[in-house]
Amino acid sequence: MMVTRRNSICFVFAAILMWLGPGLITLPVAQVILTGDKIKAIKRHGPWPPVFEEDPSNRVSGSALAVEFGRKLFLDPSLSRDGDVACVTCHLPEKGWSDGQETSKGISQLDRNSQSLYNVRNNRWYGLDGRTDSLWAHSIGPMLDEREMGTSPEAIASALAQDAEYSRMYEQVYGEPPDVSDPQAVMVNAAKAIAAFQETIVSWRTPFDDFRDALANGDMEAAGTYPQDAQRGARIFFGKGNCSLCHSGPMFTNGEFADAGMGYFVRPGEVDTGRHGGIEKLRASPFNLSGKFNDNPEQASDWATRQVALHPKTFGEFKIPPLRELTQTAPYMHDGSLATLEDVVRHYSEIDEERLHADGENILRPLKLSEQEIADLVAFLESLSSF
């Protein structure tokens, strides 16, 4: 019944088109409008997904048992002080592993926007301020933070020792049951399993990746099917927008920090010091790569951690975020103050150069984009998402 009806609608539609004349039938032109250096730049933003590499600082990285144990811990609110908050409270799979709020709320309110955990294993630094240098070290923070889960090493160790299933899983992963006389070591091991789980969170291939691979293989016909508006947006992104100077490589971030002209007042009289405060915390942490919990100091070198300098320029800098799967992770920026991708593009279009502090990021200038260019750049950003 349905098929017959659809066929007859198609037939009527075709007849109308024939009657209107062939001049009106315009098929979309499949062509590549980008050239030379833009194509070269695009090739450097893949391939995707990256090859999995174990984290040498975490001896259970890549272990299937640790992934299972870590997944359970990630989902479990009973580990928090009031029994209500788990990692998943602020990192929901259906929100691209962030939480959809401007700023997150655990036991109490935070001042920052939750970060997506997609592809998090590829980061160089963790947290918007880069306060940790490994995924497992970062996973300790929210457990202890009074505003997030508000627990303690002792409480974690005894919770794992008292629960038969946790105790069994812990022993399977680490070869011995949780030792309550060394709570800090038990907490670090729990964090290493949670990190092993987070390493499995990888985003899918996107229209951009198909475009990029087609260009790399010289298949211009396939490349031409990538929408024209996204291609025009790419021309801005890799061209006059200078976006790819900071948002570079397969993750669309160089992994470092910058000032993108966002405000850093949290409330009147109180600022978010960003990277500056992050460096101070990184250096003071017993869990950084220079410390005793690094499982392989030879391969997981603390060189970069020892190099970071507390330069005044780092004040108010935030991590250059990756740009994959952004359609799932609104709102944007460290304070969640921009609601849509269009708002972000308008921010860059009108950026206030006076606001760019310290040495200034002279890469960023008001782009004064037309409405068409704004829509094109948004279309390009959307093509970095799989749905």
What residues make contact with ligand HEC under the rule CB under 6 A? 85, 87, 89-91, 104, 106, 110, 112, 114-115, 117, 120, 123, 126-129, 135, 138-139, 142-143, 148-149, 194, 237, 241-243, 245-247, 258, 260, 262, 318, 320-321, 323, 326, 329, 332-334, 341, 344-345, 348, 361, 363-364, 377, 381
Nearer to ligand HEC, 123 or 285 (CB): 123
Query: Which are the contacts of 238, defined by CB distance < 8 A and separation ≥ 6?
Result: 37, 38, 41, 42, 244
Q: In the complex, what is the shortest distance from the CB of residue 84 to ligand HEC, in angstroms, rounded to a whole number?
A: 10
Rounded-to-5 percentages of helix, strand, coil across the chain: 45, 5, 50
Query: CA-CA distance, 259 to 276, in Å (whole number)?
Result: 12
224/255 with CB nearer ligand HEC: 255
Smallest gap from residue 143 Cβ to ligand HEC (A)? 5
Beta-carbon-side half-sphere exposure of residue 255 (alpha carbons within 13 Å): 15
When the beta carbons of 32 and 262 are compared against ligand HEC, the nearer one is 262
> Would you state the structure tokens that stand for residue 355, as one six-digit string?
């606001």
Between the CA atoms of 187, 191, 197 and 202, what dihedral angle is there, to the nearest 10 degrees?
A: 170
Tell whether the torsion through CA atoms of 226, 229, 232 and 236 is positive or negative. negative
Residue 346: how many other CB atoms lie within 10 Å: 17
Classify residue 265 by its DSSP letter: E
Residue 201 and residue 115 in contact, taking contact as beta carbons nearer than 8 Å = no
- Nearest residue (CB) to ligand HEC, 259 versus 295: 259
Nearer to ligand HEC, 272 or 295 (CB): 272
CB of 192 vs ligand HEC, minimal distance in Å: 11
Kindly state the smallest distance separating residue 112's Cβ from ligand HEC, in Å.
4
CA distance 311 to 274: 12
Across the strands, what pairs with 271? 265
Segment (H or E) for 266: strand 265-267
Beta-bridged to residue 257, according to DSSP, are 319
At position 31, the amino acid (one-letter code) is Q
Beta carbon nearer to ligand HEC, 127 or 183:
127
- Cβ closest to ligand HEC, residue 230 vs residue 262: 262
d(CA 324, CA 334): 16
CB of 105 to ligand HEC, least distance (A): 6
| Cβ at position 280, least distance to ligand HEC in Å | 14
Q: How far is the CB of 299 from ligand HEC (least distance, A)?
A: 21
Pick the closer one to ligand HEC by CB: 30 or 81: 81
Q: How far apart are CB 9 and ligand HEC at their closest, in Å? A: 41
- Tell me 247's DSSP state: S
